[in-house]
Every structure is written in C-alpha cells, then in structure tokens.
Amino acid sequence: MSLILQCLLDSVLLGGLYSLMAVGLSLGFGITRIINFAYGEFIMLGAYGAFFCSTLMGIDPLLSLPLVAAGVALIAAIIFQLCLGRALRAAPINQILLLFGVGLVLQNVAAILWTGDARSVTTSYSLSGEQVGDITISDGRVVAFLLAVLLIAILLMWLHRTELGRATRAVAQNRQAAVLMGINVTFIYLLSFALNAALGAATGAISSFLLTITPFMGFHMLVKSFAIVVLGGLGSIAGTLAGAFVLAFAETVVAYYVPEGIGWAEGVAFVVLLLVLIVRPQGILGQSEGVA
C-alpha cells in the first residue's frame, strides 16, 4: 500500500516539473505553429546558467532562476532575429530543420565551452527528505513541484489578465484576425519564442538540482516534452498539463514495478509518443483541425 502511495506522490511531484517543461513547448507551438526543435537546448542553457550562478557566485538556483530565464530568453530573441524570423513563411519542415540546426550549434558550443563533463548543483534541499510513515518525500522534488506550479500560474495569469497576454492568445487563435485588430504579429511571435525559451530555461534551472547537467541533456528533455505535448494534443495547454501527469505516472510506475525499471522508464516517453501518434494523433484534448 505504501508503495502505491509513494508511487503516486512521486508521479505527482515529477508531473509538476514535466508540466512546466511541456507548457513551454506547447505555448511556443500554439502561437507560432513552429515546433521548437531547439527547445531541449534552452533547457540545457537554463541548467548551465543555474549551475554557474551557483558555483561561481554562490547564488541558489531558486534565486538565480529569474535571471537565468531572462538571459536565455534574450538569447532566444537574438536567435529569432537572426534566423527564425526570416523563416516564418517557410515550409514547416524547413523550420524544423532550421531549429534542429540551431539546437546542434547550441549543444556543441556548450560542449566546447563547458566540456562534456556531467555536473550538478547541490543545495541544502536537493538531497534531504522527510519521512512520513513509510513514505519518503524528497525536499528537492517538492521545491521543484511548487516552483513549477507557481510559474505555470503566473503564465496563465499573464495570458488571461494582461493586454499583451490577450493579444498573444488572439494570435494563437487566428493570425489574420489578430492582424486586423492591429496586433503586431511578428512581435508576438518574437515574444512567444522568447517566452518559450524562458520557460525551458526555468525548467532547466529547476532540474539543475535534481538531474545531472550535460551539454546533451536537452535531446531527451525534448523528446519527453514532445511525448507530453502530443499526448495532450498540440496547442492545448490543459491537454499538456494532463499529458505531463500521465507521462510522469507511467514512468514512475515502470520505475517502481518493472525489473530494472529505472532504465526502462527512460524508454516510456518513446513508447507513449509512438502509441499516441498511431492511435490518436490529435491527442487527448487536441482538436484535429490544424493537424498536418
């Protein structure tokens, strides 16, 4: 019984972080209709940002997070100005391959600058835990969960309560109508690309004290984000949140109940992704309109 409870608790905590990670990708796609194949690299940059703030300046990842997110958002804005902005009307596959190239460059620049060594941030809460009955609650994961929930709440508030947020949603719903309402669509694209990078970086900063940081960590995070976003339905924030918890639950169950489960859990995302694409490409809550 306690194993089931432990499993549920772990999946909820992991689901929080996955939600934040996938919401970034989902938001970017929902607005620009471009799948950000360099998304994993923004997560990686965020993790490195938090790592260096922590080791060089002694700033806790929780405090450096806004700074790191802003820095990565700036990098993303520059990338948008330099290349992505020119490819807004290109075929989707060109945009994907372009971002794929951007990801490759970021990944390998990181590998050259910071070597391929695995690193991690150690904080007072990253390794400690509470014991409640038979259940262990990892402090680091609780912190990560709360932070993720807070950031998603802020994002939703921004999207629904502010002028710019409403404009962003308007562009997501109908580009032409948004143009007619006097919204600067290119600026909204730039903003949402930077925002999606900032969310990725925030995910990276939070995972810096949970996971090992390497220049190549982004690819796995990207595939997991894909699995979640496709599972929930491309472009649906509610679906993405649901998908994040489904994936977290599936991974945790496999890790706990399957022999050598920790290793197999890494493969769950791929299986989920393939299954969803085959059985229900529009996802749990996605609309089939706009697919393809």
Partner 1 sequence: MIASRGLVLTLYVLAAVIAVALPFGVGPLGVNLMLRAGSIVLLGISWNLAANAGLISLGHSTFWGLGSYAALLMADRLGWSFAASIVPAAALGAAVAVALAVITGRLRGIYFAIATLALSEGLRAMAVMLPDVTGGGAGIFISQELRPDARTVAIVTGLGAVGACVIAHLLSRTPFHYACRAMRNNEHSAQMLGINPLRIRVTVLALSGAIASFAGAVNIWYGGFLDPDIGFDLHITILAQIGPILGGINTLAGPIIGGLATLAISELSRSWLGAQGYSLLVYGAILIVAILYMPDGIAGALRRLRPAPPARSIGS
Positions in the binding site for partner 1 (CB under 8 A): 35, 83, 86-87, 90, 92-94, 96-98, 100-105, 107-109, 111-112, 219, 223, 226-227, 230, 260, 263-264, 266-267, 269-271, 273-274, 277-278, 281, 291-292
If we measure between CA atoms, which residue out of 271, 188, 279 comes closest to residue 226? 271
Name 29's Cβ contacts closer than 8 Å, sequence gap at least 6.
Answer: 35, 36, 229, 234, 235
Tokens 């972080």, residue located: 17
| Cα–Cα nearest to 235, from 184, 207, 196 | 196
How many residues belong to the chain? 292
Closer to partner 1 by CB, 48 or 209: give it.
48
- Count of H helices and E strands in the chain? 11, 2
**Residue with Cβ nearer partner 1 (69 or 247):** 247
Q: How far apart are CA 230 and CA 225, in angstroms?
A: 8
Which lies closer to partner 1 via its Cβ, residue 12 or residue 265? 265
What is d(CA 277, CA 231) in angstroms, rounded to the nearest whole number?
8
Residue 21 structure tokens = 């990670």
CB of 263 to partner 1, least distance (A): 5
**Nearest-approach distance from CB 270 to partner 1, in angstroms:** 3
How far apart are CB 98 and partner 1 at their closest, in Å? 5
Q: Which residue has the tokens 């649901």?
A: 242
Instruction: Kindly state the helix (H) or strand (E) to which residue 132 belongs, with its residue range.
Output: strand 129-132
CB of 212 to partner 1, least distance (A): 16
- Spatial neighbors of 175 by CB under 8 A, at least 6 apart, are 185
Q: Which lies closer to partner 1 via its Cβ, residue 140 or residue 239?
A: 239
Tell me the one-letter amino acid at 170.
A
Judged on CB neighbours under 10 Å (0-12, 13-18, 19+), 94 is: exposed
Smallest separation (angstroms) from partner 1 to the CB of 44 = 14
131 DSSP assignment: E
- Residue closer to partner 1 (CB basis): 111 or 142: 111
Q: Shortest distance, CB of residue 30 to partner 1, whole angstroms?
A: 14
**What is the closest distance, in whole angstroms, from the C-beta atom of residue 202 to partner 1 in the complex?**
24
* Element housing 276 (H / E): helix 261-279
Which residue, 97 or 285, has its beta carbon nearer to partner 1?
A: 97
* Closer residue to partner 1 in complex, CB, 72/269: 269
Q: How far is the CB of 93 from partner 1 (least distance, A)?
A: 5
Q: Which is nearer to partner 1, 66 or 263 (CB)?
A: 263
**Measuring CA to CA, which residue among 104, 93, 105, 81 is closest to residue 34?**
93
